[in-house]
Amino acid sequence: MVDLSWLYQTLRKNMGPSGWWPADSKQEIILGAILVQNTNWQNAAVSLKALKKATNYDAKQILALSNDQLIDLIRPSGFYKNKSKAIQSVYGWFEKQGWNYHQVRNKIGKDLRKELLDLHGVGQETADVFLVYVFDLPEFIADSYTRRLFKQLGYKKTKTYRDLKFQVSLPDSFDYKDAQDFHGLIDNFGKVYLRDPAKFAGSFLGREIALRNGRKRL
DNA sequence: GGCCAGGACACCA
DNA sequence: TGGTGTCATGGC
């Protein structure tokens, strides 16, 4: 329905590169992706800062924390019982794999997404975030802002993650850096123009879409 | 004081 | 496969 290359270019032209995922290391991305689940980034950032101070994101130090210690560090980002289990399960898995992302990717291959989904606390979105930002694979992330956007773009079934994931895949021309930036741009756009559905029409994207639809009718 | 924010899971029919 | 309740904090 929508040319994703055009969408990406339009977002990029108007907003510049997104710089996503905002983190200094893959480990920070992994922790951030778990901590930000169903909360705002500010709360997740407080937990990340505490984790960094206590462990410097070092796997052995994090895995050596007791559950109560871990919970105390991540409490500000909410759902701390779930997220502490998720961190332990995900970090345990990466530790077992040896933290060599590209090697893991090549070894596991096409079953990687399924294997990630088997980890406690990793659902559809977090699995795709890992694929895109940790394993450097071009994958479509159908998170809530993305679903709101595609709903505005005319897609009918956008209620669940899988609804949209089933309908949309990235063009072959997208490499992993495009996938990273594309997702970052959509979320940056969404924070400004998709929290209130009425705002979309007045956005640069809303106006571009209206213009294109107008041209189509000619 | 209610609503929301870059979800996931258990349980049920 | 789909629907619902639960998990929890901080900002507005």
Report domain extents, chain A. Answer: 4-18+140-217, 26-134
Q: In angstroms, how far is C8 C1' from A12 CA?
A: 36
Confidence category of residue A19, pLDDT binned at 50, 70, 90: very high
Burial of A64 (0-12, 13-18, 19+ CB in 10 A): exposed
Q: Cβ(A123)–Cβ(A106) under 8 Å?
A: no
Q: How far apart are CA A62 and CA A212, in angstroms?
A: 51
3-class SS of residue A150 = helix
| pLDDT value of position A202 | 92
| pLDDT value of position A92 | 98
The residue type of A38 is: N
Q: How far apart are CA A58 and CA A60, in angstroms?
A: 6
Strand C–CB A121 distance below 7 A: no
Q: What is the CATH number assigned to the segment(s) A26-134?
A: 1.10.340.30
Task: Write down the pTM of the prediction.
Answer: 0.96
Flag whether pLDDT at A215 surpasses 80.
Answer: no
Q: How far apart are CA A53 and CA A24, in angstroms?
A: 14
- What confidence tens digit (pLDDT) does each residue in A29-53 have? 999 999 999 999 999 999 999 999 9
Residues lying close to strand C (Cβ under 7 A), chosen from 36-75 of chain A, are: 38-40, 42-43, 46, 75
Q: How far apart are CA A212 and CA A170, in angstroms?
A: 21
Nucleotide closest in space to A43 (CA vs C1'):
C10
Q: In angstroms, how far is B1 C1' from A217 CA?
A: 49
Flag whether pLDDT at A99 surpasses 70.
Answer: yes
Confidence category of residue A217, pLDDT binned at 50, 70, 90: low
Name all protein residues with C-beta less than 7 A from any atom of nucleic acid chain B.
A 20-22, 32-33, 36-41, 43, 78-79, 82, 86, 117, 119-127, 129, 143-145, 161, 187, 190-191, 195
End-to-end CA distance of chain A: 19
Q: How many CB atoms lie within 10 A of CB A44?
A: 22
Confidence category of residue A218, pLDDT binned at 50, 70, 90: very low
Phi, psi of A202 (to 5 degrees): -85, -5
